[in-house]
């Protein structure tokens, strides 16, 4: 029996010799390589923390001692040691393990920490609570690294941890010199000096923390010694562990770009991705387009927050390295710096994941929009991303950002529209613009039948019964709905407004001529585009009834994108069925046996109300 097979929880590590722990580290590394290359996920970060995680669980007693991971993508080894091996067969799939800590999975996971730079604040709060309640028999440990120290929130926490009254708190700095890309900036330089023994005093000591290190993050006995000393320290202490991201697997060790940070399923022998996507990704199309624009316009620069490669900016960096600015995990700084760049006469393109733009709302609102700065925001991974789980779905951007005065928002449905709309966005100089698109392949372009009032009409058949307003990448779903409703005898128009905010006046005119309006978006229904269109119709005295389809106001579990969209009721069947029932009510035919028979044929026997009820219960 393999040693890993005997590990049922942290207690199983107690009493194992250093030699046996090193043996366990090798087995864990092989297990991760085998499982994560098959499923995809965060391989490089976890290969780098194998020994560190083992040492932590031999010195500290989880869950009594609280272990926090920042960011949580480096918690796979922690999951293995805390008894979740079987779940790796469905890692990041519906019903399997989350790619981040999950309170639903284990009592060993205290926070679901998947946005960076937060663990030190959690830890400070936990340590303060213990001090206030007189609790002295447990430790608080925050593991931070992988670029998370480039985030301003981490330094806000350090300022308070070091400047407050003494209380036990262990911070483990996992220094692997990287976030996605190599970590840049003054703190990265300081860590390099610490690793080289060239710094007389660490910045942590200057802030009032005890500093231990640097220590070899792959030397289990050295780690255990340093962590044991840290545990015995009465005040806040930092253990500086130097690790190697992607350690032990040739394809990640040899990848100088990101060391296998987040991989797609791959052949573990060759390291080649097993891709099933059809066509280029939205990210790749954006990267090609912004490089072309930059070649035409010397005033265009790109800004990103530790996401150069994932957001598609590598081609631009390769051609114009001085015109790509990576600020680290510092979204607030990125946005306000972009405002300054705009004031200085250049046009910034801020490329960021949709889920991370939440952190910079105040800066976008007050520093960019209030000053009417011409900054273009490009939100990758908008809508349902799926396998990364609740924190990474980009389901709030249009709800949150439609409140920003003067911000123009577009949602391209395919690669061709992304190129066109990015050109339009960067050409707008009267204020900020935003382009949002989903994770994954663009698929074939969806042609425009005609243009009406600046909007793309994608489908027009029969009477003016149902107007389907398609938002962004759900255009194929909208067209499928049109086909189903046409089969039921309804006239259907499908329109893609391209620019979704502000609402085009022509959309109100078109809605006035139809009997029912249906909006389809992969954004929260609360405050989403559908809600904004409904308000615009009311303001224009348009009385046409409107039905909005979008994401419910819930955090969505991880799973495949198609599975998550289905659970949200964003399928051709669900939308067609509801629209058909609404039209039956308008026609007074809801009790007509012929209509009911046609609806059963459309939906396999369920009613719209049944499907929506089931959906509400599952999400």
Residues known to be catalytic: 245, 331, 359
User: Rounded distance, CA 521 to CA 411, Å?
Assistant: 10
Instruction: Judge whether 328 and 354 are in contact, CB under 8 Å.
Output: no
Say if residue 73 carries a ligand binding annotation: yes
Instruction: Judge whether 529 and 398 are in contact, CB under 8 Å.
Output: yes
Please enumerate in sequence order all residues whose Cβ is within 8 A of that of 556, keeping only pairs 6 or more positions apart, or say none.
Answer: 384, 389, 390, 393, 395, 564, 567, 568, 619
Strand order through the sheet with 516-524: 450-452, 455-461, 492-496, 466-470, 516-524, 546-551
Neighbouring-strand partners of residue 263: 41
543 C-beta neighbours (distance < 10 Å), count: 10
Tell me if residue 447 falls in helix, strand or coil.
coil
Say if residue 569 carries a ligand binding annotation: no
Say if residue 147 carries a ligand binding annotation: yes
Please enumerate in sequence order all residues whose Cβ is within 8 A of that of 255, keeping only pairs 6 or more positions apart, or say none.
Answer: 44, 246
Instruction: Judge whether 522 and 500 are in contact, CB under 8 Å.
Output: no
Distance from CA of residue 160 to its chain's centroid? 28
Say if residue 176 carries a ligand binding annotation: yes
Strand order through the sheet with 433-436: 324-326, 300-304, 347-353, 376-380, 433-436, 408-410, 499-501
On the 0-12 / 13-18 / 19+ scale of CB atoms within 10 A, 131 is: middle
Say if residue 114 carries a ligand binding annotation: yes
Instruction: Judge whether 385 and 513 are in contact, CB under 8 Å.
Output: no
Please enumerate in sequence order all residues whose Cβ is within 8 A of that of 611, keeping only pairs 6 or more positions apart, or say none.
Answer: 569, 573, 574, 577, 603
CA-based radius of gyration for the chain: 26
User: Rounded distance, CA 316 to CA 434, Å?
Assistant: 19
User: Rounded distance, CA 581 to CA 599, Å?
Assistant: 8
Say if residue 347 carries a ligand binding annotation: no
On the 0-12 / 13-18 / 19+ scale of CB atoms within 10 A, 184 is: middle
Binding residues for Mg(2+): 146, 176
Binding residues: 73, 114-116, 146-148, 176, 249, 331
Binding residues for thiamine diphosphate: 73, 114-116, 147-148, 176, 249, 331
């Amino acid at each position: 029996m393999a040693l890993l097979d005997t590990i049922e929880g942290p207690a199983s590590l107690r009493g194992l010799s250093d030699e046996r722990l090193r043996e366990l580290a090798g087995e864990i590394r092989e297990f991760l390589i085998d499982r994560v290359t098959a499923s995809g996920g965060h391989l490089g970060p976890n290969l780098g923390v194998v020994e560190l995680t083992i040492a932590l669980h031999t010195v500290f007693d989880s869950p009594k001692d609280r272990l926090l991971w920042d960011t949580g993508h480096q918690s796979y080894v922690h999951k293995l040691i805390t008894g979740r091996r079987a779940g790796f067969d469905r890692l990041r799939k519906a019903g399997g393990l989350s790619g981040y800590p999950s309170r639903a999975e284990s009592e060993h996971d205290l926070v679901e920490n998947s946005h960076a730079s937060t663990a030190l604040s959690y830890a400070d709060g936990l340590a303060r609570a213990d001090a206030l309640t007189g609790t002295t028999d447990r430790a608080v440990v925050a593991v931070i690294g992988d670029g998370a120290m480039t985030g301003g929130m981490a330094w806000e926490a350090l300022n308070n941890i070091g400047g407050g009254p003494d209380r036990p708190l262990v911070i483990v700095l996992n220094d692997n010199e990287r976030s996605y890309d190599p970590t840049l900036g003054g703190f990265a330089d300081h860590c390099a000096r610490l690793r080289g023994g060239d710094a007389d005093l660490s910045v942590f000591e200057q802030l009032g923390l005890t500093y231990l290190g640097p220590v070899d993050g792959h030397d289990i006995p050295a780690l255990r010694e340093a962590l044991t000393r840290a545990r015995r320290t009465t005040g806040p202490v930092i253990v500086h562990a130097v690790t190697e991201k992607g350690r032990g697997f040739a394809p990640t060790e040899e990848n100088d770009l990101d060391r296998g940070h987040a991989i797609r399923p791959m052949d573990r022998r060759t390291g080649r991705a097993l891709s099933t996507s059809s066509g280029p990704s939205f990210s790749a199309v954006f990267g090609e387009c912004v490089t072309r624009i930059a070649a035409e316009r010397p005033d265009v620069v790109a800004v990103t927050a530790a996401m150069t490669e994932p957001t598609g900016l590598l081609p631009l960096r390769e051609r114009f390295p001085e015109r790509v600015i990576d600020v680290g995990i510092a979204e607030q700084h990125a946005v306000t710096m972009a405002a300054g760049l705009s004031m200085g006469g250049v046009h910034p393109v801020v490329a960021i994941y949709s889920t991370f733009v939440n952190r910079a709302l105040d800066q976008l609102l007050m520093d960019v929009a209030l000053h009417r700065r011409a900054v273009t925001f490009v939100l990758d991974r908008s809508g349902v991303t799926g396998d990364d789980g609740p924190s990474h779905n980009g389901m709030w951007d249009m709800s949150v950002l439609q409140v920003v005065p003067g911000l123009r928002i577009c949602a391209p449905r395919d690669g061709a529209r992304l190129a066109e709309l990015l050109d339009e966005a960067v050409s707008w100089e009267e204020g900020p613009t935003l382009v949002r698109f989903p994770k994954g392949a663009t698929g074939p372009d969806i042609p425009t039948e005609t243009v009406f009032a600046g909007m793309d009409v994608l489908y027009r058949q029969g009477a003016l019964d149902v107007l389907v307003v398609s938002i962004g990448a759900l255009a194929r779903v909208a067209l499928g709905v049109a086909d189903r409703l046409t089969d039921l005898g309804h006239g259907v128009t499908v329109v893609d407004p391209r620019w979704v905010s502000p609402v085009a006046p022509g959309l109100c005119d078109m809605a006035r001529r139809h009997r029912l309006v249906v909006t389809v978006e992969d954004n929260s229904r609360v405050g989403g585009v559908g809600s904004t269109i409904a308000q615009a119709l009311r303001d224009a005295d348009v009385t046409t009834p409107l039905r909005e389809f979008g994401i419910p106001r819930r955090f969505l579990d991880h799973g495949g994108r198609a599975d998550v969209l289905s659970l949200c009721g964003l399928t051709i069947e669900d939308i067609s069925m509801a629209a058909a029932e609404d039209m039956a009510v308008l026609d007074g035919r809801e009790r007509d046996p012929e209509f009911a028979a046609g609806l059963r044929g459309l939906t396999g026997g369920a009613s719209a109300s049944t499907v929506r009820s089931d959906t509400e219960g599952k999400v």
